Amino acid sequence: MRNVVWRVWSRHLAVSVVRLLCCLVVLVVYANVPTRAQATATLSGYVLDSETKETLISATITIKDAKLGTLTNKSGFFTLKNIPVGKQTLTVSYLGYAKKELVIDFDAGESKKLTIELKRKQSQSEAVTVEASREAERRQISISQVNVPMQQIKQIRIGGEADVFRTIQFLPGVLTSSQISSGLFIRGGSPDQNLVMIDGMTVYNPSHLFGFISAFNTEAIKDVELIKGGFPAQYGGRLSAVLSLTQKEGNREKVEGVAAIGLLSSKVSVEGPLGANGSFFAGGRASYLTILRQLIPEDPANPIPNFGFYDLNAKITQNITPDDKISVSGFMSSDFLALDGGGLNVNISIGNRAASARWTHVFGDNLFSTVLLSTSHYRNGFDGNNAGFQFFVDNTITDYTAKADMEWFTTNDLTIKFGGEANRYEFGFVQDLAARRGDNPTPVPGGTNPNFATRTDLTLRDWVFSGYGQVNYNFSDYISLQGGLRWNYYQTLGAHLWDPRLSLRYQPADNFTVKASWGVYHQYLRLASNPDFTFFDTWLPTDASLGPSSATYYGLSFETKLFENTDFPLDATFDVYYKSLVNINELNTLAARSRKASEIFFSGNGEAYGAEVFVQKKVGQWTGWVGYALGWVWGQFDSINFGRRFNPRYDRRHDFKIVGLYTINEQWEVGASFTFQTGQPFTGVSSRFQTRFPDEQFGTGLSVSTDRFGLRLPPSHQLNINANYNTILFGLPAKVLIDIYNVYSRRDIWFVVYNNRGPVTEVLDVRLLPIIPTVSLEVKF
């Protein structure tokens, strides 16, 4: 009954928001007719790194002694309008770079275009001041958004690797099911509810070693943006969060590169100028963990998995004209894992391939456009034997995307965004499941498998279309409103769905901001994941038998700056949120010969709510953050637990994380990270019964499960430390990297196996990695 009330109330609110948006557009356009066009001037352009000519994202541009300011967008572009005539002082700043001031003389009605270059700070321990005025930050209301500086990401080392994905896992409210899990659980959302993109390309499995490190080489990344909830209308297709990464374009001044060798993996990357006004970047990384595994003493009761990976990144960029830029990007990754012991035999292979072409164009001084064509292919193969139960699964998803976005800087107070997207999906899914008889081998894909009682073989194709409009308007220096509306159409379902979004920003003082957000979100894709093997991702579409999932999100955020004028400035954020979830799914592990989504998934409703505290220091010798999240997640399905509510496996009550980085001098950098999390729920076994064929003496024991996710694993906690030494090797800048993963060697439980082969059921805890010290070398050339 409560969910019905929520849906009705949300529908009425959505209609009201649509009406409000229409009125808002009319009012702000009318209110901003340029009556003073000849009394002011306009400035637009790009902000670049002076050494590499790489564009800088979210650089701050302000007019000194005037209430005017803005931030560069994802392409490093900015626009400032209504600038008073005469000589004005322009201030430009960016984290890790020296602040720059320019005196510019503006004439009435003039429109200037500038390319502004900033110099990097030579000393990493030197304090950096970033000017982020109230005016600069009000172009878009960003709630629950976290930007971790790449300087900090490159200092955090796990297994010798500076890693984007691992750094994100150290943020409060971001969880994984284990140390080697592929799925991010963000604010009570399941992994399939997160949109992960690199250069606009969707990545369906963004991790290596099944969550140990990411599939994204940090040498290839220049910007990381995570929105943990309440994301704007330009993003869609997911219920929970957005992770957007931007690859480097490459050094336009000279050829340079980085090569590194460590105990877990080695990597190399090269970048440099290309053509008359362009650049390139290419990088690769590969592991040799099979060799390392042979050096670790084997414990038969707790076997260590055998795994490995590689990834490739490439990007070519060319400026065709001062207002036109074309870039082509590519990304590829591959993983394998094998585990044999403790009654379990598993072989897994995972791979991503993605490519995109992007064209950006500036119309005049205030209209910015982006056109993107991309394709992304994901494959996951999985076979093995678990205590007499054989399985084979092969899943593929390929999407072809065409997307166009427009960003119109109408005035300093009004920004309008709109765009459209078309997706062509192709799905393939094969699954064989059965009890094993004797010593018959694992089945061959496509072959005859008489021992398998169930088989699923699906091939599906579908089109999804969407469009959005978004308005951001500043009513005053203190209050701004952002409203958006997203339309989605699913061809197979024949359904038109509307997603209204609304955000409010109130800033009574320069160092204190209150933000609120509300939004409706729909999702077409679903992730099938076996509860015992949470690292396995099988993507499937929604069909008419099940319908899309939806979420209604409410968020409230308080942001402030502490000790702002001291040597220890801090950014502090306190967030509370609530999500009502409708038509979400849990995997039906007993599905046989499934042809419809409703036969593969149980459908139900849920809710997630909680609070987070995040305190971060971005500049100075000491950097890092402390975060704590308190959260609840509930699910209710008619076909699970007799309809009673339960906590899904991504429910974690407490999540505490601390990251500290210290630059001792120009040679030494040290760091440490610590995490503590409540153990995840799992489904236990209460009893067993025996089945056998006439020619078998003992047969096979089958388990009888307890309540779905009715038990909980012990708490998970871990300490990692690292040290980086900067030196010169053969005349080249180099780093010696030392880190210790899992310092006190706590081997958390990965999952629990109930071995029914003997007369008495044996309960086996499959544990994760022990302490792993690594030493690696990184050389720049």
Q: What is the pLDDT of residues 603-628, one digit of tens each?
A: 889 999 999 999 998 888 888 899 99
Which residues does residue 116 pair with via DSSP β-bridges, in sequence order? 47
Look at the block and give the residue holding tokens 């074309």: 326
169 alpha carbon, distance to own chain's centre = 10
Could you tell me the two tokens for 81?
């309008």
Residue 20 has a pLDDT of 47
In 3D space, the residue among 88, 109, 83, 108 whose CA is nearest the CA of residue 412 turns out to be 83
pLDDT band, very low/low/confident/very high, at 32 (cuts 50, 70, 90): very low
- Taking residues 514-532, report their average pLDDT: 81
Closest CA to 58 of 97, 23, 22: 97
CA angle 653, 657, 658 (to 5 degrees): 160
pLDDT-wise least confident of 95-99, 136-140, 500-504: 136-140
3-state SS record for 97-164: ECCEEEEEEECCCCEEEEEEEECECCCCCCCCCCCCCCCCCCCCCCCCEECCCHHHHHHCEECCEEEH
Range with the lowest mean pLDDT among 11-20, 99-108, 346-355, 506-515?
11-20
| Mean pLDDT on 167-182 | 75
Query: Is the pLDDT reported for residue 718 higher than 80?
Result: yes
Q: Which of 37-41, 197-201, 590-594, 709-713 is predicted most confidently? A: 197-201
Please say if the pLDDT value at position 260 is more than 80: yes
Tokens of 231: 């994301």
Show the domains of the chain with their CATH numbers.
145-780 (2.40.170.20)
- State CA 591 to chain mean position distance: 31
Q: 411-423, pLDDT tens digit by residue?
A: 888 889 999 999 9
Tokens encoding 255: 């050829």
For the segment 333-357, the average pLDDT, to the nearest whole number, is: 80
CA–CA gap between residue 79 and residue 112 (Å, rounded): 10
Least confident of 38-47, 66-75, 130-139, 496-505: 130-139
Q: Does the structure show a pLDDT above 50 at 14?
A: no
Residue range 635-670, pLDDT digits in tens: 888 888 888 888 888 888 999 999 998 888 888 989
Read off the pLDDT of residues 465-492 as tens digits, 9 standing for 90 and up.
999 999 999 888 789 999 999 999 988 8
Mean predicted confidence (pLDDT) in 381-395: 71
For range 322-332, the mean pLDDT: 92
The whole-number pLDDT of residue 387 equals 56
Residue range 527-547, pLDDT digits in tens: 776 544 545 567 777 777 788
pLDDT band at 590 (very low <50, low <70, confident <90, very high): low
Is residue 430 within 8 Å of 457, Cβ to Cβ?
yes
More confident residue, 597 or 418: 418
**How much of the chain, in percent, has pLDDT values that exceed 70?**
78
User: Which residues face 734 on adjacent strands?
Assistant: 727, 779
Q: What is the mean pLDDT of residues 456-461?
A: 74
CA 185 to each of CA 66, 191, 747: distance values in angstroms, whole numbers, following the listed order: 43, 6, 21
pTM for the model: 0.83
Name the E strands within 305-413: 306-321, 324-341, 344-363, 367-386, 389-409
pLDDT 10s digits, 204-239: 877 766 566 777 888 888 888 889 888 999 999 899
